[in-house]
Structure 1
Amino acid sequence: MRAVAVRRFGGPEVLEVLDTPVPQAGPGQVRVRVAAASVNRIDLSTRNGALTKAGLLAPAAEVWLGWDVAGRVDQLGPGVTRFAVGDQVIGLRDVLSAGGAQADFVVLDETAVAPAPTRVSVELAATLPLIGLTADRSLALAGLHAGQTLLVTGAAGGVGGLVVELAALSGIRTVAVAGEQDEEAVRGLAATWFVPRTDRLAEAVRRQVPGGVDAVVDAAVIGIAAHEALRAGGTFVALVAPFAPPPLRATRVVVQEVYADGARLAALAALVDAGRLTLRVADTLPLDQVAVAHERMAAGGLRGRLVLTA
């Protein structure tokens, strides 16, 4: 089968589509015939060696890429009870030493897989696992209840946009931060307030919410500038550990670490089918154009995910 890998770190030119044996499902696992796999920022950090340099990925002769998958179950390992061959599923591969999702087949634990949403394309479905679970866990860590206020940076992005929508479903009021050109789209996600991206972020947010917001989800990885918009004793949720600010003014700073959770993923897929969560695809490309996808993602300016198709 084909699978995307790197055997040395560097730019998009180091990406290879290798011919490798088809994996076999072990106990408690399912094998998925991949129809679509999205490209995420963490794929770029894997390719250029940043994850290995940070000690998050052990050195290996071959490093496989891809976290998100949408496809069809085509093999069951012993003990699997929740799925049958032929089921349309989505899943998250969160063990980086295992085979990647940007391949013809991927093996995942049964607990990492959920029924795919039925009312969107397979390409859209493939964008949900990583950003959906990241947004869901980030909001949970914020610890808010209905009526409280949440600042979401990067609200026009995949994670930030879903945080805004999930917060609105829980009655949480959001201050959404994005570029001025994205105001209409972000307001369409049910943000309570919109603040254009600015160097004076805390000042702009506090004009909307005097005293500061109850919590921050820093999807844009702004760090201390976003923390300054937080009230004393509030909660700051960081998505990238090295950029987490210190817990000033008795605040609580937590780092969100995503993991494969099939049960939560199934709940998110149901919200997609109900029209309550918005997924976006910027473009689709064949698997052998993965380097082009990396170039385009690195260039920025995308609204939606790039998705590789079989």
Structure 2
Amino acid sequence: MRTLVAQGGALRLVETPDPEPGPGQVRIRVEAAAVNPIDLFTASGALPDYGLAPRLETYALGWDVAGVVDLAGPGVTTVRPGARVIGLSDRLTDRFKAQGDLVVLDEAAIAPAPAGVAAPEASTLPLNALTAMQALDLAGLAAGETLLVTGAAGGLGGYLVELAVARGIRVAAVAAPGDESLVRGFGAEWFIPRGADLAATVRAVVPGGVDGLVDAAVAGLPALDAVRNGGAFVAVGAGQAPLPLRGIRVSTVFVRADTAQLRDVAKLAEAGRLTMRVAGTYPLERAAEAHERLRRGGLRGRLVLLP
């Protein structure tokens, strides 16, 4: 089989023996694997600098997968070979990850793929939708409360808006001026153009500040001022959380595989309540082009590799 790895800052597609599933694991024949910013970060070699992984010669790439189970290990009870699934490869140092021909995942890291959804679209769900769901859980907002989402037009931000609205939360969305119709289509009640004085603009429409904020755009400390005293601020990723000023609960979301939540995500996608956006597809052999295109930015949706 082929698997994509980063070695010395360069991407290489290497041939390896097929991985075998252990107890409680399944092997998935990959149909589609989304490319995410964490893949660029991993390929850069920066993981050890942030204490996220030991310094290794090579790192396998790819978190999101949509595909077909082709082999189940001992003790697997919820899926059989031939089942279409989506899954999250959430361990940074796994030897085999999603950007390859085959990937082995724990049974607890997969869920049935949403019916009627093509593999490229389905592959955009696990990492970003689970991150969004778990960030909203950390924010702990109730129906009727207000949430500010930075980076609302991005892959993570779009799911944040839609999942929050599904919980009855009122959303203010920050995005580029040209993305207003897009994020309002996700269900945002208020639109905040990127580059505006964030705290002043938010407090003009939500007096006293929002109840919570999920910082998908890594705006950091300037965004904290848009949150009311005693509210909630959820940072995304390592090293991005501001100090908990004014009694604001500050936390950081680090995504984890969760089969129950992934099943919920798939059901929402099946029902048409999540907008899966594919900005383009590349064959696995052209993975370096996909990574470079993501690095240039400006996408509205995920790039997807097709083995």
TM-score tier by shorter-chain length is: over 0.9
1:30 matched to which residue of 2?
26
1:305 matched to which residue of 2?
302
1:107 matched to which residue of 2?
104
1:252 matched to which residue of 2?
249
Amino acid at match of 2:32: A
1:234 matched to which residue of 2?
231
Partners of 1:159 and 1:97 lie apart in 2 by: 23
Partners of 1:8 and 1:110 lie apart in 2 by: 32
TM-score, length basis structure 1:
0.97
Is 1:82 matched with 2:78?
yes
Let me know the Cα RMSD of the aligned residues: 0.8
Within 5 A, what are the aligned runs for 1:190-205? 190-205=187-202
**Partners of 2:7 and 2:43 within 8 A in 1:** no
1:170 matched to which residue of 2?
167
1:5 matched to which residue of 2?
5
By how many angstroms is 1:199 displaced?
4.4
1:40 matched to which residue of 2?
36
By how many angstroms is 1:281 displaced?
0.2
**Partners of 2:121 and 2:278 within 8 A in 1:** yes
Identity %: 57
> What's the secondary structure of 2:41's corresponding residue?
helix
**Partners of 1:33 and 1:74 within 8 A in 2:** yes
Partners of 2:208 and 2:281 lie apart in 1 by: 44
By how many angstroms is 1:52 displaced?
2.1
TM-score, length basis structure 2:
0.98
Is 1:243 matched with 2:243?
no
> What's the secondary structure of 1:249's corresponding residue?
helix
**Partners of 2:50 and 2:238 within 8 A in 1:** no
By how many angstroms is 1:240 displaced?
2.1
**Runs (4+) of structure 1 moved beyond 3 Å?**
none
Amino acid at match of 2:36: N
**Partners of 1:155 and 1:178 within 8 A in 2:** yes
Within 5 A, what are the aligned runs for 1:66-77? 66-77=62-73
2:48 matched to which residue of 1?
52
Higher mean displacement: 206-215 or 235-244: 235-244
Q: Which runs of 5 or more structure 2 residues have no equivalent in the other structure?
A: none
> What's the secondary structure of 1:241's corresponding residue?
coil
> What's the secondary structure of 2:76's corresponding residue?
coil
> What's the secondary structure of 2:239's corresponding residue?
helix
Give deviations 1:172-194, integer Å, cap 9, x for gaps. 10100100000001100111111
Aligned length: 306
Partners of 2:287 and 2:48 lie apart in 1 by: 21
2:206 matched to which residue of 1?
209
Is 1:152 matched with 2:149?
yes
